[in-house]
């Protein structure tokens, strides 16, 4: 059996009277792409927020690489190797594309705090080369890498954010609806990018509404409904699971 990267055990979370998460157990194996699907309000984002330090579960444990991460701060969890792509693009709109990718590369290399004012950022050739290469892979080349990130389209911003996370070579990448609100051709470009990452063997959790995306990239799928996991399995198992079809798809066949 392969290594567990993330282990979520008995996690409960209530907001007022609402049980957002109900005894959720989830094991993420190394090298797998694990998709979490479910209708709106099922608790997908809440679950992700419990992993990344935004929320603290009422009960239960979340361990990452065998280490407890509940109560840890966002930057500590990132430094441990769990990196998150947000649902709305979180980039640095006032910086250039290149700088946007250099910043996470610095975090990976220098840790959560590093004060050095005597070396110019433009002399950090290794970091610049790596960042440029990743941007080139995204199809951004030449002088364009010096343009402002804030002026890009929404789809480009989201892919930029994904690249910003990838340059950190995370142990576990969390993707919160990477294609939400995208046009079809935009979605396809993102799927290409995701499949490229899949080949690299990076462990990922992906939350997604778009079934096309889920079935093209996921190894394992868990279905969340009303705060509880109602099914887990391979895409084919999930596709044929009547409980899932009832809860999530309203009986329609995929």
Partner 1 sequence: MNFSETRSDLTLMLIFSAVVLTMPLWLAPIGAGYPDLLQKFAIFGIFAIGYNILFGLTGYLSFGHAAFLGIGSYTAVWSFKLLTMNVLPAIFFAIIMTGLFAALIGFISLRRSGIYFSILTLAFAQMSYNLAYSVLTPITNGETGLQLTLQDARILDGPAGAGLPSTELFGISMSGYSGFYFCAVVLIIAFFFSLKIFRSPFGMKLQAIKSNQTRMKYTGYNTRPYLMTAFIISGMYAGLAGALMAVTDPLAGAERMQWTASGEVVLMTILGGVGTLFGPLLGVGIIKYFENIFSAINEEALHSFFSFLPGFLENLLVAITSPFVGEGWHLTLGVLFMVIVIFLPGGIMEGIDRIKKRYRNQGTKTTPEKE
Q: How many residues of this chain interact with partner 1, rule: CB under 8 A?
A: 40
CA nearest to 161, candidates 150, 210, 128: 150
The helix (H) or strand (E) run that includes residue 67 is strand 67-68
Residue 121: DSSP 8-state: G
Whole-angstrom distance, CA of residue 25 vs CA of residue 229: 8
- Binding partner 1 by CB under 8 A: which of 90, 129, 137, 192? 90
Contact (Cβ atoms closer than 8 angstroms) between residue 101 and residue 135: yes
Backbone torsions φ then ψ of 153, nearest 5 degrees: -70, 165
* Per-residue contact string for residues 186-205; x = within reach of partner 1 by CB under 8 A: --------------------
Pair 159, 89: CB distance under 8 Å:
no
Give the rounded distance of the alpha carbon of 66 from its chain centre. 20
In order, the DSSP letters of 77-112 are HHHHTEEEE-SS----TTSBHHHHHHHHHHHHHH-S
Task: By CB under 8 A, name the one of 79, 188, 216, 226 that touches partner 1.
Answer: 79
Q: Which is nearer to partner 1, 57 or 104 (CB)?
A: 104
Which of 104, 178, 227, 235 lies at the binding interface for partner 1 (CB under 8 A)? 104
252 binds partner 1 (CB under 8 A): no
Q: Which stretch binds partner 1 (CB under 8 A): 59-67, 72-80, 204-212, 240-248?
A: 72-80
CA distance 168 to 202: 12
Q: Which stretch binds partner 1 (CB under 8 A): 24-32, 43-51, 67-75, 200-208?
A: 67-75
Site string (105-124) toward partner 1, x via CB under 8 A: -xxx-xxxxxxxxxxxxx-x
Q: What is the DSSP letter of 136?
A: H
Q: Are 221 and 58 in contact (CB under 8 A)?
A: no
Name the residue nearer to partner 1 (CB basis): 44 or 84: 84
CB of 43 to partner 1, least distance (A): 20
- Residue selected from 18, 61, 67, 94 as contacting partner 1 according to rule CB under 8 A: 94
Question: Which position among 11, 42, 102, 193 is part of the footprint of partner 1 (CB under 8 A)?
Answer: 102
- 95 touches partner 1 (CB under 8 A): yes
Residues in touch with partner 1 (CB under 8 A): 52, 73-75, 78-79, 83-84, 86, 90-96, 99, 102-104, 106-108, 110-122, 124, 146, 164, 168
């Amino acid at each position: 059996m392969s290594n567990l990267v993330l282990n979520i055990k008995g996690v409960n979370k209530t907001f007022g009277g609402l049980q957002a998460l109900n005894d959720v157990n989830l094991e993420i194996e190394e090298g797998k792409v694990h998709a979490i699907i479910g209708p709106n309000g099922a608790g997908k984002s809440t679950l992700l927020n419990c992993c990344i330090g935004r929320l603290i579960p009422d009960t239960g444990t979340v361990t990452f690489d065998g280490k407890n991460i509940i109560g840890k701060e966002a930057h500590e969890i990132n430094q441990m190797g769990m990196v998150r792509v947000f649902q709305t693009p979180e980039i640095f709109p006032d910086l250039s594309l290149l700088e946007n990718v250099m910043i996470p590369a610095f975090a990976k290399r220098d840790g959560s705090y590093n004060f050095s004012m005597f070396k110019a950022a433009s002399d950090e050739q290794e970091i610049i080369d790596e960042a440029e290469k990743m941007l080139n892979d995204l199809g951004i080349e030449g002088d364009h890498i010096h343009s402002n990130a804030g002026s890009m389209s929404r789809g480009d911003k989201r892919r930029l954010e994904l690249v910003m996370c990838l340059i950190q070579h995370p142990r576990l990448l969390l993707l919160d609806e990477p294609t939400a609100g995208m046009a079809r051709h935009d979605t396809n470009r993102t799927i290409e990018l995701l499949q490229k990452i899949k080949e690299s063997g990076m462990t990922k959790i992906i939350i997604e509404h778009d079934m096309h995306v889920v079935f093209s990239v996921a190894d394992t799928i868990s279905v969340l409904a009303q705060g509880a996991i109602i099914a887990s399995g391979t895409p084919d198992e999930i596709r044929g699971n009547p409980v899932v079809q009832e809860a999530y798809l309203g009986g329609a066949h995929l």
